[in-house]
Structure 1
Amino acid sequence: MEFGENIKKERKRQGLTLEELAVRSSVSKSMLSMIERGEKNPTIQVASQIAEGLGVTISYLLGENQKREVVVIRSGKQLVYKDETTGIERHLLSPSFPTKGIEFILNVIPPMQETGVFPAHKSGVKEYIYVSDGRIKIELGHEPESYDLEAGDSIYFEADVTHRFINPSNQECRYYLVIDSSQLT
């Protein structure tokens, strides 16, 4: 699987051992090894932990690293990551430019599912969310503050805290997410 291969390439490019990445990402060495070999497909939460441990985005690890200033991504050609366990889908709607630091994403959470806890991003990363369909509960921090949003609602937060997204309803939740890491140095 390309995702696992890209993790291994990035890990080696940074001169990290599996043990070092395991510590940085809080993902076990054995799990990382299985993912790198394509034997295991990580959940979105684990993929996020690995990306954070490497200091890159999930989209970057999926192979979206075009360098042109004008990029058209045709319908049906966006990169989609589907969590086989929960059915959660992550659709990258924009190109991922690691140096520009902006990602535009559509997330789809099936009824009564959740993402699990995402690790805190580096200080300076911001997330903007707009709920287009359904309902979502967002928990921020280790002693979580909880925010309930419905279709048409939006939220902004500094993403240097753990965060979790929960669909508490019997209908699919669709929300648009902009991750802004452009202020990182």
Structure 2
Amino acid sequence: MRTTVAAGAVIGSFAAHAAGSREYVAVETGELTVTLDGVDHRLGRGDALYYAGDCVHAFANPGPTECVYYTAMQVAGSPHHLSPEEAT
């Protein structure tokens, strides 16, 4: 997923996913602060971060310019594909 965040914007917090979940974040441009269970990790252009998704996580752009970043998630217990019956 590609996300664009305005300068100085706070995206907010997200609840922990199921145990065994994983998330990957890569910054294309700008700056991004990823907070994991209250610990800040400041990323810049070209930086990437991998973390267990079973923690409270938050995102913010502390920088003076727009930030573009990518997220890939593997959420434990989530089916990859749903049958038509399950999707309704």
Normalized against structure 1, the TM-score is what? Answer: 0.41
Q: Is 1:184 matched up with 2:77?
A: yes
User: Displacement of 1:124 after TM fit?
Assistant: 1.4
Q: Which structure has the highest strand share of the two?
A: 2
Aligned partner of 1:137 among 17, 30, 33 = 33
The aligned counterpart of 1:116 is 12
Q: Secondary structure at the match of 1:171?
A: coil
| Counterpart residue identity of residue 35, structure 2 | E
In structure 1, C-alpha distance between the alignment counterparts of 2:31 and 2:7, rounded to whole Å: 9
The aligned counterpart of 2:60 is 166
Find the structure with the greater CA-based Rg: 1
Percent identity over paired residues? 29
Show structure 2 runs of 5+ residues with no match: 79-88
In structure 2, C-alpha distance between the alignment counterparts of 1:119 and 1:184, rounded to whole Å: 16
The aligned counterpart of 2:42 is 148
Highest relative contact order (Cα 8 Å, sep 6+), 1 or 2? Answer: 2
The aligned counterpart of 1:60 is none
1:108-163 Cα deviation digits (max 9, x unpaired): 1111001111111111111001100000111011xx11101000000000011111
Q: Which runs of 4+ in 1 moved over 4 A?
A: none
Normalized against structure 2, the TM-score is what? Answer: 0.83
| Counterpart residue identity of residue 184, structure 1 | G
| Counterpart residue identity of residue 128, structure 1 | Y
Q: Secondary structure at the match of 1:178?
A: strand
Q: Which structure has the highest helix share of the two?
A: 1
User: Displacement of 1:184 after TM fit?
Assistant: 2.5
- Residues 75-94 of structure 1 aligned to structure 2 (within 5 Å): none
| Counterpart residue identity of residue 60, structure 2 | I
